[in-house]
Amino acid sequence: MRSTAVCTSIALLALFMVSLANAAPVEVVFKDPEKFSDASLDSPGYERGADPYVMKELRSYIQKLGERYLPADQQLQIEIRNIDLAGRFEPWRLNAYEVRFMREITWPSIDLHYVLKQNGQTVSQADARVMDQSYLQRPGRAGRSDRLYSEKAMLSDWFRRQFAGQHQSGLN
């Protein structure tokens, strides 16, 4: 009986430690995505809101950035409050309903609030507007098929400037 209790305790402790090791260093939530300025690749025109593809891709990418740049004892909570994707649909153009036209005045921007914690204690928190007004001059953009290339490159630059430390591993 006593050995069963000890074995159960050890198993629970091991399970708890595995869950801590697998805990995502970055939590990303989207606040009122139906009100976002322009976060949809599926609805040409001027409809507001975010589509699931954009939210899934950006969440996944930000979490990968966290794995790359944050030490194991840090956790980051990001609340995305608005997204304005690079480019614009121009619905008045014939036969170009699903084309985003990239112009110098249609740069990407993301409004967010972040809280960085280390060992459970808040280290820093702030509101930020992440934007890239020079997104058209970014090298390597011509050969990319990623529909969110500009937003991901912008987030990567911001994340590196804001959180880069000693912990860095490759990002796919």
Q: Residue ranges of the domains in the chain? A: 25-163
Say how far apart CA 21 and CA 25 lie, in whole Å. Answer: 10
Strand partners, 75: 117
Q: Pick the residue with more confidence: 150 or 101?
A: 150
Mean pLDDT score across all residues of the chain: 82
| 3-state secondary structure at position 25 | coil
Location of structure tokens 């966290």: 66
- Dihedral Cα 56, 61, 63, 68, nearest 10 deg: 170
What is the structure's pLDDT at 13?
A: 45
The answer to whether the CB of 48 falls within 8 A of the CB of 34 is yes
Say how far apart CA 48 and CA 89 lie, in whole Å. Answer: 12
Inform me whether the pLDDT recorded for 101 exceeds 50: yes
- Which range (7-16, 30-39, 73-82, 147-156) has the least confidence? 7-16
**What's CA 26's distance to the chain center, in Å?**
9
